[in-house]
């Protein structure tokens, strides 16, 4: 099958392309190679993907005016949309970046999907949409109308835009709310990479909310398995949808939204301890107040996605952190001699 993957040079995008290629799909990868973080990491990810004859890469901004024309030649059957301006904290200072990439760019994705009559559009949302929801487990059935960062606003907007196109044009769409994805080839602005780097350099790591943070750390391989399974099972209207009491997760249109998380949240300090164990080195910790836009706890209720695609995470935090540290040593430390 021919599948378009946006954000192909990104962390999740690279792993998703690898998994598709491994099973024999033809992949068109698109990425604008933005300088939000060091582009050499993105280029190194692409070097791996480019070794496969079934992978084609185009450097392209999804918000560009010629996006449709460039994609039409490939004529994908399905689209996995992972390109986005990432980062809660970046959105505090540069909200316009999120309008360009996450909203205008997503409109292009939707219009391309309709024009090419793709069988299924699967796209990345985020657990950030839940805001400061106080439920122990965050469910797709919960209200998400109270975002606390503009990044979250852009992701919730994507879900609303997708629903409108699903309703108007019968375009099957499935949104995926990712929960704290980590693993090899991760972004350098993510907590795991920052902690490893600073511990090795004998520098202090900043731990916010004085360490009282809980995250549903989800290993990249589990996330990718979920992405492929959701993409394979085309969204359908739900017979259980009740217009008198609308559910946020289902619709009379071919629209679905799913949590993709580990469902076993970990205290941030326990995550740090796993890193320390694998590095054989103690962290110097600078305890800080909570930052604007941050949530104190994330924990995914994955009952809906488990019912839909039989999704069960396999990788525990000790194995995942071990793999992350091993990759970091091989990639960064060997580069620096």
Give catalytic status of residue 151 as yes or no: yes
Token pair listed for 210: 């004085």
N-terminal to C-terminal alpha carbon distance within the chain: 42
Asked if residue 220 lies in contact with residue 82, where contact means CB atoms within 8 angstroms, the answer is no
User: Which residues in 107-254 belong to E strands, given as ranges?
Assistant: 120-126, 173-178, 181-182, 204-207, 214-215, 218-219
Counting Cβ atoms within 10 Å, is residue 310 exposed (0-12), middle (13-18) or buried (19+)?
Answer: exposed
- Relative orientation angle of helices 11-22 and 220-232, to the nearest 10 degrees: 60
Token pair listed for 114: 């309709």
Per annotation, catalytic residue among 123, 130, 151, 328 = 151
In sequence order, which ranges of 174-267 are alpha helices (DSSP H)?
191-200, 220-232
Token pair listed for 146: 């109270």
Q: Hey, which residues are catalytic here? A: 151
């Amino acid at each position: 099958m021919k599948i378009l993957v946006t954000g192909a040079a990104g962390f999740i995008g690279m792993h998703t392309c690898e998994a598709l290629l491994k099973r024999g799909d033809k992949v068109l990868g698109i990425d604008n190679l933005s300088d939000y973080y060091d582009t050499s990491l993105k280029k190194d990810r692409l070097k791996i993907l480019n070794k496969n004859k079934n992978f084609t890469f185009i450097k392209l901004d999804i918000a560009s005016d010629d996006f449709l024309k460039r994609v039409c030649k490939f004529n994908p059957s399905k689209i996995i949309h992972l390109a986005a301006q990432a980062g809660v904290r970046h959105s505090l200072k540069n909200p316009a970046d999120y309008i360009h990439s996450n909203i205008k760019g997503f409109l292009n994705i939707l219009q391309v999907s309709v024009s090419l009559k793709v069988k299924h559009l699967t796209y990345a949302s985020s657990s950030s949409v839940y805001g400061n929801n106080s439920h122990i487990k965050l469910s797709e059935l919960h209200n998400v109308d109270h975002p606390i960062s503009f990044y979250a606003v852009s992701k919730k907007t994507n879900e609303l835009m997708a629903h409108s196109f699903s309703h108007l044009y019968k375009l099957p769409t499935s949104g995926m709310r990712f929960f704290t994805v980590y693993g090899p080839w991760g972004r350098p602005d993510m907590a795991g990479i920052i902690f490893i780097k600073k511990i090795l350099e004998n520098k202090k790591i900043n731990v916010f909310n004085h360490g009282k943070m809980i995250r549903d750390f989800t290993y990249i391989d589990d996330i990718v398995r979920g992405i492929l399974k959701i993409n394979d099972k085309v969204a359908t209207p739900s017979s259980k949808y009740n217009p008198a009491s609308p559910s946020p997760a289902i619709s009379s249109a071919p629209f679905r939204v799913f949590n993709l998380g580990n469902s076993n949240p970990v205290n941030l300090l326990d995550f740090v301890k796993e890193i320390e164990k694998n590095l054989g080195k103690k962290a110097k910790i600078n305890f800080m107040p909570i930052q604007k836009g941050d949530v104190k706890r994330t924990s995914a209720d994955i009952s809906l996605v488990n019912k839909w695609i039989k999704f069960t995470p396999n990788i525990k935090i000790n194995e995942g952190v071990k793999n992350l540290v091993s990759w970091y040593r091989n990639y960064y430390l060997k580069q620096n001699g």
